[in-house]
Amino acid sequence: MRDEDRVLQPKTPHSLRWHLSFSYAILILVVLLISGILAFFFSSQSIDQAAAGALKAEAGAAQTNVRSVLLAHPTQNGSWPKPLTLKVIDTHSESENTLGIAVKVFDLQRQTLYETKSPQPLSSYVLPPEESFTAAMKGEFPADVIDIGPAKEKIRIHVEPIRQPQVNAKGETTGNGKVIGVLLTAKTLQAEERTKSTLAIWLGVSALVALAIAAIGMHFTTKRVLWPLSAIVQTARSIARSAHTGNLSQRVRRPASNDEMAEVVDTFNDMLDALEQATRAQRRFVADASHELRAPLTIIQGNLAFLQQHVHELPVEEQQTMLQDAHSETLRLARIVDELLLLARADTAGALPPDKESGKREKGKHPVEVERVLLQLVRQVRGGLHSEGSSLQLEVGHIEPVRVNGDEESVRRIMVILLDNAIKYTPEKDAVSGLPGKITVSLERKEQEGILHVKDTGIGIESEDLPHIFERFYRADRARTRQGTGLGLAIARTLTEQMQGKITVQSTPGIGTHFSVHFPLVD
């Protein structure tokens, strides 16, 4: 399988939507489980407290009934009236509203003095635990005990002491005397356990239903929220499939919500915009480079082929002319290659990590007196214009001392490119006024910058060309009637940026162009 096939046919990944839905479902399950456990725990506590409260209320009623019987039939030495009859408790235990509570009364010898007739068989077999009975005989109130009945049912047992009421000579009750017996109230917890079981089932079913609803809702929610990611994947795959055609015009539709996902889509589309522009620039660069390299190669090849075929027929002067033309084109070709290598090295330096990049850029840098380099270059250019008989005026405006951190050759090359560009596009005489063309250079200090100005009265640059003049091989003169490679301004900007500076331009067609180079001053 080819490498591009592997790119176009990736392994099917696990759906992020399912991952998120499953994760949220687990989270919801844990929350529901904890909530269910807490709800069941507190509900069980309430049920148990209700059962304990019912037992204590029944024990209070029984104590009142026993006390009334003892007061109605007073005895001596802690003896009990026989038979012991508790009509209030009997009536309650046999009523339809009974809570299923059995009541028993024991004397100190553990003899059963009274027991309710219902509920059966609870009242017949339930007995107080040994420890609870002993504690009650001492006048204590032991804690309720949970016992297991013959049918494996749970029984809650409440035990408390019964004291002899004290009566004075007037027949008035003055308090409680010694312990003369033990009162037992007991209740089966079958109803409570059934309630707990039903509660647990309902909590479980409710949790499962809530989990299912939440999982389905979460699945559709994540599907709606994450659809931009699917769109990004599809767009990326589509672009990868059409990589050989370089079609980068596809974009992902932006979601209506203004959230992080919309930001991801915007960033992805911005990246595609940048890639599309870079691809177009690369294609134009390749086309322009091919054109610029083909022209001198065509001349060299044609001249040499013609000489090879007619070397014995041509005069020596014509042979030398053709060789000189080939040599000139060879120099031009070498200059283009040198400029391309310079830009390639700048690109490589810009791609280095910050520490390595700064180290390479700082190497060979030292303070440069810009005004000295500028004035020296102006003298040389003036001499060249004079020797060519040109009427162009190269004037020097206001000059301030400026020291920048860089290398003198780069500063000089920037100036040469801008002056060469101004000379190339400034007519010797204005077609309307008849005045000679003028180029003005100046140098000023402004805050923490040194600014080089190169201003001309040339043909200017059209507004649609102005944003592209620093691109490689871009030439506003599409007919290419003027000599040049189209790399000069790109090199000037690259060298300026390597010195942590910037270059700006203002231009009006028919009036002139003004370049400004901003250099950071040496501290």
Tens digits of residue pLDDT in 237-264: 777 777 666 677 777 777 777 777 778 7
Give the separation between CA 497 and CA 151, rounded to whole angstroms. 94
- Tell me the backbone φ, ψ of residue 160, rounded to 5 degrees: -150, 155
Separation in Å, CA 368 to CA 415, 453, 495, 506: 14, 17, 14, 26
**Where do the domains of the chain lie, and which CATH numbers do they carry?**
28-197 (3.30.450.20), 261-357 (1.10.287.130), 364-520 (3.30.565.10)
Q: Which of 316-330, 414-428, 469-483 has the lowest mean pLDDT?
A: 469-483
Give the separation between CA 44 and CA 41, rounded to whole angstroms. 5
Contacts 24+ apart (CB under 8 A), 510-514: 510/459, 510/460, 511/457, 511/460, 512/426, 512/455, 512/456, 512/457, 512/458, 512/460, 513/422, 513/425, 513/455, 513/456, 513/458, 513/460, 513/461, 514/453, 514/454, 514/455, 514/456
8 A C-beta contact, residue 55 and residue 187? yes
Q: What mean pLDDT is predicted for residues 23-40?
A: 87
Split at pLDDT 50, 70, 90, the class of 354 is very low
Query: Does residue 435 carry a pLDDT above 50?
Result: yes
Give the separation between CA 394 and CA 471, rounded to whole angstroms. 27
Split at pLDDT 50, 70, 90, the class of 483 is low
Query: Does residue 77 carry a pLDDT above 50?
Result: yes
- pLDDT of 453 reads 95
Determine the number of helices (DSSP H) and then strands (DSSP E) in the chain. Answer: 12, 12
Q: Which of 261-265, 304-308, 370-374 has the lowest mean pLDDT?
A: 261-265
- pLDDT of 404 reads 92
| DSSP at 13 | P
Q: Which of 131-135, 139-143, 299-303 has the lowest mean pLDDT?
A: 299-303
- pLDDT of 12 reads 46
Going 335 to 336 to 341 to 344, the CA torsion angle's sign is positive
- pLDDT of 99 reads 64
Separation in Å, CA 229 to CA 171, 220, 249: 93, 15, 18
Query: Does residue 13 carry a pLDDT above 60?
Result: no
Q: What mean pLDDT is predicted for residues 348-374?
A: 64
pLDDT digits (tens, 9 = 90+) for 37-63: 999 999 999 999 998 998 899 899 889
- pLDDT of 480 reads 46
Q: Which of 51-55, 106-110, 249-253, 447-451 has the lowest mean pLDDT?
A: 249-253
Tokens representing 326 are 């080939």
Which of 360, 428, 431, 363 has its CA nearest to residue 394? 428
Split at pLDDT 50, 70, 90, the class of 8 is very low
Give the separation between CA 409 and CA 14, rounded to whole angstroms. 58
Q: Which of 325-329, 377-381, 443-447, 470-474 has the lowest mean pLDDT?
A: 470-474
Measure CA of the first residue to CA of the last residue in the chain; give whole Å. Answer: 60
Tokens representing 493 are 């900007």
Query: Does residue 26 carry a pLDDT above 50?
Result: yes
pLDDT digits (tens, 9 = 90+) for 223-236: 777 777 777 777 77
- pLDDT of 444 reads 94
Percent with pLDDT over 70 in the chain: 84
- pLDDT of 105 reads 92
Pairing between β-strand 438-446 and β-strand 393-399 as defined by DSSP bridges = parallel
Give the separation between CA 148 and CA 77, rounded to whole angstroms. 36
- pLDDT of 201 reads 93
- pLDDT of 53 reads 92
Looking at every residue in the chain, the average pLDDT score rounds to 81
Tokens representing 106 are 């024991």
Split at pLDDT 50, 70, 90, the class of 363 is low
Split at pLDDT 50, 70, 90, the class of 485 is low
Vertex 242, ends 238 and 246: CA angle to 5°?
120
Query: Does residue 301 carry a pLDDT above 50?
Result: yes
In the sheet that 154-167 helps form, which strands lie side by side, from edge to edge? 112-115, 101-107, 173-188, 154-167, 145-148
Q: What mean pLDDT is predicted for residues 138-157?
A: 87
* Preceding omega of 119 cis (within 30 degrees of 0): yes
Going 115 to 116 to 118 to 122, the CA torsion angle's sign is negative
Between 114 and 95, where is the model more confident? 114
- Tell me the backbone φ, ψ of residue 46, rounded to 5 degrees: -65, -40
Query: Does residue 107 carry a pLDDT above 50?
Result: yes
Q: Which of 250-259, 397-406, 425-434 has the lowest mean pLDDT?
A: 250-259
- pLDDT of 210 reads 87
Could you tell me which residues come within 8 angstroms of residue 104 by beta carbon, excluding any fewer than 6 positions away?
Answer: 112, 114, 115, 116, 123, 126, 128, 183, 184, 185, 186
- Tell me the backbone φ, ψ of residue 39, rounded to 5 degrees: -65, -45
Query: Does residue 5 carry a pLDDT above 50?
Result: no
Q: What mean pLDDT is predicted for residues 59-72?
A: 88
Split at pLDDT 50, 70, 90, the class of 482 is low
Amino acid at 260: E
- pLDDT of 160 reads 93
Could you tell me which residues come within 8 angstroms of residue 221 by beta carbon, excluding any fewer than 6 positions away?
Answer: none
Q: What mean pLDDT is predicted for residues 372-384?
A: 90
Amino acid at 356: K
Its pTM stands at 0.49
